[in-house]
Amino acid sequence: MGERSIYLRAWPTERNVSWRFYKAWFVFSIYNHNEMSRVYKIIFMLSGFVALAACHCVYAQDFPYISPEELDDLLKKGDNSILVVDTQPKGAYNLGHIKGAINFPWAMEIVSPGDLPRNKTLILYCDCAHEEDSTDVARQLEKWDYIDVKILKGGWSGWQKLGYPTEKTSD
């Protein structure tokens, strides 16, 4: 009657997916010779499923997208109802960003949205493969009652590939 282990796992995958799982590892050993093991097994499995359901997932589809073409048209028209927000770190922002964009770097937890206006549509972008950072910033801003937020489809890389206007900041 040996030891049998059950592993139930949920872990963050590469940054090239459009969602995030916070770490949740569950490991429980069950001994076959113990009559109570059946009860423990049931309790463990139920707690694992509840914990997995509680894992916070962020899907890019939760927020509307704007295409680079649409954003370029709005910028050319001089639309004052939008604000382009770069969610990359300050160093990456300084190396290059969308012309006219402000820098609001991604953080695990936004303590304060600072001077971000609530009366404008915020167009967020990052250089992630599937807009993970900008989607996470949008989710956090939603908690601060920002309701008009869009994600730039393709992000910084997509913008550059299409040859739209960029600028650098020297600090």
Whole-number Å distance between alpha carbons of 164 and 71 = 10
CA torsion sign, 159 to 68 to 136 to 171?
positive
101 and 50 assigned to the same domain? no
Q: Which of 35-39, 67-71, 114-118 has the highest mean pLDDT?
A: 67-71
**Phi and psi torsions of 44, nearest 5°:** -60, -45
Mean pLDDT (the chain) is 77
65-to-14, 44, 106, 167 alpha-carbon distances in Å: 22, 40, 18, 23
- In this prediction, residues 109-113 reach a mean pLDDT of 89
41 and 89 assigned to the same domain? no
Regarding predicted confidence, which is higher, 66 or 37? 66
Picking from 170, 16, 167, the residue whose alpha carbon sits closest to that of residue 84 is 167
Whole-number Å distance between alpha carbons of 92 and 86 = 9
13 and 90 assigned to the same domain? no
Give me the number of domains the chain comprises: 2
